[in-house]
Amino acid sequence: MSDPFSAPAIQQPVSLDAILAVLHGGDAAAIAAICRQAHPGDIEAAIEQLDEADREAFLAALPVELITELADYLPSAALENRFRSLPEAEKREVLESLSDDELVDLLQEVPEEEREEIIDLLPEEMQEVSQDLLQFPEYSAGGRMTTAIAEIKASMTIREALALLAEQQEDTEILSRIYVVDDAGRLLGKTRLRDLAFNPRSKLVRDIMDGDQISIEAMADQEQAAQMIARYDLVALPVVDAERRLLGVITHDDALDILQEEHTEDLELASGISGERGDLAYLQTPVVDHLRRRFLWVLGMALLGLISGTVLHDQGDVFKAHYVLALYLPMVVAAGGNTGSQAATMVIRAMSLGELGPKVFFRVVWKEMLIGLLIGSLLGLCIALQIRFLLPQGLAGETGASLMHVALVVGLSLTAQVTASTLTGAALPLGARAIRLDPAVVASPAITTLVDVTGMLIYFGLARLLLPGA
Amino acid sequence: MSDPFSAPAIQQPVSLDAILAVLHGGDAAAIAAICRQAHPGDIEAAIEQLDEADREAFLAALPVELITELADYLPSAALENRFRSLPEAEKREVLESLSDDELVDLLQEVPEEEREEIIDLLPEEMQEVSQDLLQFPEYSAGGRMTTAIAEIKASMTIREALALLAEQQEDTEILSRIYVVDDAGRLLGKTRLRDLAFNPRSKLVRDIMDGDQISIEAMADQEQAAQMIARYDLVALPVVDAERRLLGVITHDDALDILQEEHTEDLELASGISGERGDLAYLQTPVVDHLRRRFLWVLGMALLGLISGTVLHDQGDVFKAHYVLALYLPMVVAAGGNTGSQAATMVIRAMSLGELGPKVFFRVVWKEMLIGLLIGSLLGLCIALQIRFLLPQGLAGETGASLMHVALVVGLSLTAQVTASTLTGAALPLGARAIRLDPAVVASPAITTLVDVTGMLIYFGLARLLLPGA
């Protein structure tokens, strides 16, 4: 990972700083000019750096024809506000400029009662498409697809197919992927414009098509679609219904967006941030939204932390006889959290890369037990040596036991705690998946809080067992 | 995120389970048959589930012509072993089947002295290409690009351009992206086969090309390339040298792979796993490699944990007068780790999505301070109320102070600890970036270990200040 802003040499027509300077300047004519000049992707990146007020000011300064041009690149929550303020004719203009997946995003964003109003403003054929698309959940393949594809029948001659495609050519983009279906609309394969062009016109499409039928069901999760696009190196993945009828496609750029979103979700879950990020950038997200997404986990973990507290409170009298033990308590506890999180991360990541099938539970657990035991005993040995040979003699005086005894307790505790935590970190996500939960919910804070308790129990237990007078 | 293996309805010609059954069966003829039938992407996914011995057995069973076919999908560490065992003629065959980026991966994988031997086996034009590509670092745009592109000059007529392209047409894939350069080879724009085909043959390429010059410098980080592909919705991103001469492209499927790798790296760094993952799947990575990547952080954090231990050891006599405080120590400490990690995750993610430019330090820190203060005081209030009204009266007897006093100490400690930790979690990654470090290295375990210390100091400090006789 590196910082895209300090990078040396992206060649782009207009620099981000230049765009930001104009956006912050607030001059409407200059804003319109730079929006015409720069790539919409750069405008999108610049908007993300604005806070809410600046963003609203920017959108207000934008003439309608630029809104229609940039619409696909504006966060739909932002678009929604500006859209409301437009007169009806201009609303229609903006709506017609939206790609169908962006349109559906907008419809999902607005309240139920407004949705019908907006749909009424659409041209008839788009009304139907948007109703169709709205039936799929937001994070399903169907909710993410575009219906702008070229579709021809296998039973057509190439001449008929080319005539049909000529009608649709106003949107040249879709001609780079042409799908072949049977008479019931079921996906049979695909072909390219150049294959049609370079074959005799009387041949049947069926005879020249590529019979590749890789596709995904519309109700499947969007992440699965992205992973198929990655696995098969696809430019576009056909989306079909339960009868294998072709509905649309998810494109390679959607796959990138989906992976970025899922990546964000994984990272957030792994540090106990709940709920959806929404499509607003960090700086634009109100403080109260950040609060809402973070507080619940923090409170929950704090209450669970009372369990560790109770153990410390109940067992802490061991310290009275062997006060030197306090020196190693935080280390023993934290080593569990650290190694448990490592194991969980390894296993969760391998699962989401599709490397762990459903039958690997014991292979993974065995492997992690071995790793935990090795890390734990190595660590235990290092620290035991530190205690035995490096600890000031003054501290030895505090305890009725020899430093050798203390080294034994701390070393064994570290070994046991790390092994148990590594096992826990590996087994919990696998278990979560087995009962159809997202493995990432068993995230680091949960594991850490859990193994905090086991760590104290192990440490105090071993101390009582091995130290005289504890 | 969902589990790709329990998913209902991927339509794919051969199921992963079917492939795995054959691979585990070990019958060479059956293995060859299924490799011909299934998509190479599915074979790749199946191989990831095998352990090392099974994988080697599978590769040994594979006839050479299938190795050449699957070469681009085999992990290069695995390919390397099988490759060594081949006679020279077959080595040549395999090498010629590799795409240039996969070839470079293989060359980077083998030891220096073998590299020259392999290069000598290549056809002359590939020797040159591979020498050129090897000069770029593995994780740079240049190290990741393919040179298989169609390149025409702006000064050519369309007739000349089409004649040139006709010579290269054995590789039809590259015809979907045709780049236009000036006489010195500098990138000027791009065009499509259909634009050439549908224009008069005597026109100049210059007059029909699309003058889009978005490109990336070869030495730039690969992640930057992936982010540009995402931002501009590109199928391929041209890679140029310092003089803007066209060298190759990075394609959309590379972008997906790069994002997946960087995602893995981010997640691993965030839980203190160091070093590279390599291209072996989880189950194939030897235990000793896992150990190597995990142990160092664990040991480092354990040693830092001695600081917390020292604080607990030195300050813990507060407990003697107010033993009830032990009940809340783990909570106060852990709340800092949890909120610090949340803040770090939020900020690191926003940076890597390019949402935080270089001038936002104070805006981010201010925002996180506010969030920290809100979460901290809310949490402090909740716990203070719990202490005042829910704590058993028996515990109150332990302390010379009233429960009201204890509630005050714990509540204020939580507020201060959460605010300080949130600030730390946000500021450290921003600071790391400012001194050109990867922000993700200031990962959760480091922040947690750090704020463990501040948490104890705050807690014991406030107790001494506010509790009578402490």
Measured distance CA(A401)–CA(A418) in Å, rounded: 25
A268 vs B: CB within 8 A:
yes
Contact check, Cβ <8 Å, A45/B216:
no
Tokens (6 digits) for A239: 């989306």
Q: Is A178 helix (H, G, I), strand (E, B) or coil?
A: strand
One domain, residues A194 and A297: no
Is the residue at B34 inside a domain? yes
B378 contact residues in A (CB cutoff 8 A):
291, 295, 299
Pairing relationship of beta strands B246-251 and B10-11 according to DSSP bridges: unpaired
Alpha-carbon distances of A326 from A18, B65, B305, B408, rounded to whole Å: 57, 65, 12, 25
pLDDT tens across the length of chain B (470 residues): 333 333 333 334 678 888 888 888 878 888 888 888 888 888 888 888 887 788 888 888 888 888 888 887 887 777 888 888 888 888 888 888 888 878 888 888 788 888 888 888 888 888 888 888 888 988 899 989 988 888 999 999 999 999 888 877 666 566 777 999 999 999 999 998 888 888 899 999 999 998 888 999 999 999 999 999 998 889 899 999 999 999 999 999 899 999 988 888 888 888 888 887 777 788 888 899 899 999 999 999 999 999 999 999 888 788 777 888 889 999 999 999 999 999 999 999 888 888 887 778 899 999 999 999 999 999 999 999 998 888 776 665 555 668 888 899 999 999 999 999 999 999 999 998 888 888 877 767 888 889 999 999 999 999 999 987 66
**What letter represents residue B149's amino acid?**
I
The pLDDT value recorded for residue B1 is 35
B413 vs A: CB within 8 A:
no
Measured distance CA(B58)–CA(B25) in Å, rounded: 10
B309 vs A: CB within 8 A:
yes
Alpha-carbon distances of B84 from B54, B91, B94, B398, rounded to whole Å: 18, 8, 11, 74
One domain, residues B299 and B435: yes
User: Which of B207, B239, B270 corresponds to the end of one domain?
Assistant: B270
A360 contact residues in B (CB cutoff 8 A):
49, 283
Work out the minimum CA distance from B207 to partner chain A, whole angstroms: 19
Measured distance CA(A389)–CA(B256) in Å, rounded: 52
Tokens (6 digits) for B320: 């003697």
B70 vs A: CB within 8 A:
no
B262 vs A: CB within 8 A:
yes
Contact check, Cβ <8 Å, A1/B268:
no
A348 contact residues in B (CB cutoff 8 A):
267
A246 vs B: CB within 8 A:
no
B316 contact residues in A (CB cutoff 8 A):
319, 323, 326
Work out the minimum CA distance from A262 to partner chain B, whole angstroms: 6
**What letter represents residue A166's amino acid?**
A
Beta strands per DSSP E along A225-377: 236-240, 246-251
One domain, residues A132 and A154: no
The dihedral sign for the CA sequence B338, B344, B348, B351: positive
Is the residue at B3 inside a domain? no
B422, closest residue in chain A (CA to CA): A294
CATH number for the domain including B420? 1.10.357.20
One domain, residues B298 and B418: yes
Q: Pick from A109, A123, A104, A38: which is nearest to A280 by CA?
A: A109
Q: Provide the number of structural domains found in chain B.
A: 3
CATH number for the domain including B71? 1.25.60.10
A370 contact residues in B (CB cutoff 8 A):
287
The pLDDT value recorded for residue B75 is 77
Number of H helices, E strands in chain B: 23, 7
Tokens (6 digits) for A114: 């407004």
A355 vs B: CB within 8 A:
yes
A347 contact residues in B (CB cutoff 8 A):
282
Is the residue at A275 inside a domain? no
B379 contact residues in A (CB cutoff 8 A):
295, 298-299, 302
Contact A159, A201 (CB under 8 A): yes
Work out the minimum CA distance from A97 to partner chain B, whole angstroms: 18
A42 vs B: CB within 8 A:
yes
Pairing relationship of beta strands A236-240 and A215-217 according to DSSP bridges: parallel
* Interface A:B, Cβ pairs < 8 A: 435
The pLDDT value recorded for residue B58 is 86
One domain, residues A46 and A22: yes
Work out the minimum CA distance from B104 to partner chain A, whole angstroms: 19
One domain, residues B259 and B326: no
Is the residue at A274 inside a domain? no
Contact check, Cβ <8 Å, A374/B327:
no
Closest partner CB to B334 (pick from A262, A301, A329): A301
The pLDDT value recorded for residue B201 is 92
Interface of B with A in 150-189 (CB under 8 A): 172, 175-176
Residues contacting residue A295 through CB under 8 Å, at least 6 positions apart: B375, B378, B379
Contact check, Cβ <8 Å, B1/A370:
no
Return the percentage of chain B with pLDDT > 70, whole number. Answer: 93
Measured distance CA(A130)–CA(A96) in Å, rounded: 12
Contact check, Cβ <8 Å, A298/B342:
yes
Q: Is B400 helix (H, G, I), strand (E, B) or coil?
A: coil
- B469 φ, ψ to 5°? 80, 10
Q: Pick from A436, A418, A440: which is nearest to A345 by CA?
A: A440
Residue B198: Cβ within 10 Å count: 10
**b or e along A132-142 (b: 16 or more beta carbons within 10 Å of the residue's beta carbon)?**
bbbebeebbbb
Domain that includes residue B438, residue range: 286-466
**What letter represents residue A30's amino acid?**
A
Q: Is B210 helix (H, G, I), strand (E, B) or coil?
A: strand
Residues contacting residue A124 through CB under 8 Å, at least 6 positions apart: none
Q: Is A432 helix (H, G, I), strand (E, B) or coil?
A: helix
Measured distance CA(A297)–CA(B452) in Å, rounded: 18
Return the CA Rg of chain A. Answer: 30
Question: HSE on the CB side for A330, CA within 13 Å?
Answer: 31
Return the CA Rg of chain B. Answer: 30
Contact check, Cβ <8 Å, A341/B7:
no
**Token match 């980077």: residue?**
B108
Contact check, Cβ <8 Å, A49/B378:
no
DSSP, residue by residue, B221-268: BHHHHHHHHHHTT-SEEEEE-TT-BEEEEEEHHHHHHHHHHHHHHHHH
pLDDT tens across the length of chain A (470 residues): 333 333 333 334 678 888 888 888 878 888 888 888 888 888 888 888 887 788 888 888 888 888 888 887 887 777 888 888 888 888 888 888 888 878 888 888 788 888 888 888 888 888 888 888 888 988 899 989 988 888 999 999 999 999 888 877 666 566 777 999 999 999 999 998 888 888 899 999 999 998 888 999 999 999 999 999 998 888 899 999 999 999 999 999 899 999 988 888 888 888 888 887 777 788 888 899 899 999 999 999 999 999 999 999 888 788 777 888 889 999 999 999 999 999 999 999 888 888 887 778 899 999 999 999 999 999 999 999 998 888 776 665 555 667 888 899 999 999 999 999 999 999 999 998 888 888 877 767 888 889 999 999 999 999 999 987 66
Element (H, E) at B10: strand B10-11
The pLDDT value recorded for residue A6 is 33
One domain, residues A243 and A293: no
Give the residue from A346, A356, A454 with the most B CB atoms within 10 Å of its CB, the best one to mutate: A346
Is A328 exposed, middle or buried, given 0-12, 13-18 or 19+ CB atoms closer than 10 A?
buried
Residues contacting residue B302 through CB under 8 Å, at least 6 positions apart: A331, A334, A335, A379, A382, A383, A414
Measured distance CA(A209)–CA(A190) in Å, rounded: 6
Residue A204: Cβ within 10 Å count: 16
Closest partner CB to B264 (pick from A217, A265, A349): A349
Measured distance CA(A236)–CA(A278) in Å, rounded: 25
Measured distance CA(B36)–CA(B53) in Å, rounded: 22
Measured distance CA(B163)–CA(B218) in Å, rounded: 29
B292 contact residues in A (CB cutoff 8 A):
none
Angle at A396 between CA A395 and CA A397, to 5 degrees: 90
Measured distance CA(B40)–CA(A231) in Å, rounded: 9
**What letter represents residue A406's amino acid?**
V
Is the residue at A280 inside a domain? no
Is the residue at A11 inside a domain? no
Contact B426, B433 (CB under 8 A): no
Tokens (6 digits) for B458: 């705050």
B265 contact residues in A (CB cutoff 8 A):
1
One domain, residues B304 and B247: no
Closest partner CB to B330 (pick from A42, A352, A452): A452
Q: Is A26 helix (H, G, I), strand (E, B) or coil?
A: coil
The H-assigned helical ranges of A73-148 are 76-84, 88-97, 100-109, 112-121, 124-134, 141-144
Closest partner CB to B272 (pick from A16, A227, A338): A338
Contact check, Cβ <8 Å, B312/A329:
yes
Measured distance CA(A253)–CA(A236) in Å, rounded: 9
A370, closest residue in chain B (CA to CA): B287
Measured distance CA(B115)–CA(B131) in Å, rounded: 10
Closest partner CB to B255 (pick from A256, A353, A414): A256
Is B165 exposed, middle or buried, given 0-12, 13-18 or 19+ CB atoms closer than 10 A?
middle
Alpha-carbon distances of B284 from A92, A367, A406, B28, B451, rounded to whole Å: 56, 11, 39, 21, 36
One domain, residues B296 and B318: yes
One domain, residues B222 and B349: no
**What letter represents residue B450's amino acid?**
L
Work out the minimum CA distance from B128 to partner chain A, whole angstroms: 26
One domain, residues A291 and A396: yes
Contact B332, B460 (CB under 8 A): no
Contact check, Cβ <8 Å, B375/A339:
no
- Per DSSP, A247 falls in state E
Contact check, Cβ <8 Å, B267/A267:
yes
Alpha-carbon distances of B228 from B222, B256, B417, B437, rounded to whole Å: 10, 12, 39, 21
Contact B301, A382 (CB under 8 A): no
One domain, residues B135 and B154: no
A362, closest residue in chain B (CA to CA): B283
The pLDDT value recorded for residue A172 is 56
B224, closest residue in chain A (CA to CA): A4
CATH number for the domain including B173? 3.10.580.10
Q: Pick from B191, B187, B180: which is nearest to B245 by CA?
A: B187
Alpha-carbon distances of B13 from A358, B16, B68, B80, rounded to whole Å: 20, 10, 21, 29
B423 vs A: CB within 8 A:
no
Work out the minimum CA distance from A115 to partner chain B, whole angstroms: 28
B347 contact residues in A (CB cutoff 8 A):
282
Is the residue at A70 inside a domain? yes
User: Which of B111, B144, B177 corresponds to the end of one domain?
Assistant: B144
Closest partner CB to B309 (pick from A253, A327, A339): A327
Work out the minimum CA distance from A444 to partner chain B, whole angstroms: 8
User: Which of B91, B116, B144 corresponds to the end of one domain?
Assistant: B144
Is the residue at A425 inside a domain? yes
Work out the minimum CA distance from A378 to partner chain B, whole angstroms: 9
**b or e along A177-197 (b: 16 or more beta carbons within 10 Å of the residue's beta carbon)?**
bbbbbeeeeebbbbbbbebbe
Contact check, Cβ <8 Å, B326/A312:
yes
B12 contact residues in A (CB cutoff 8 A):
214
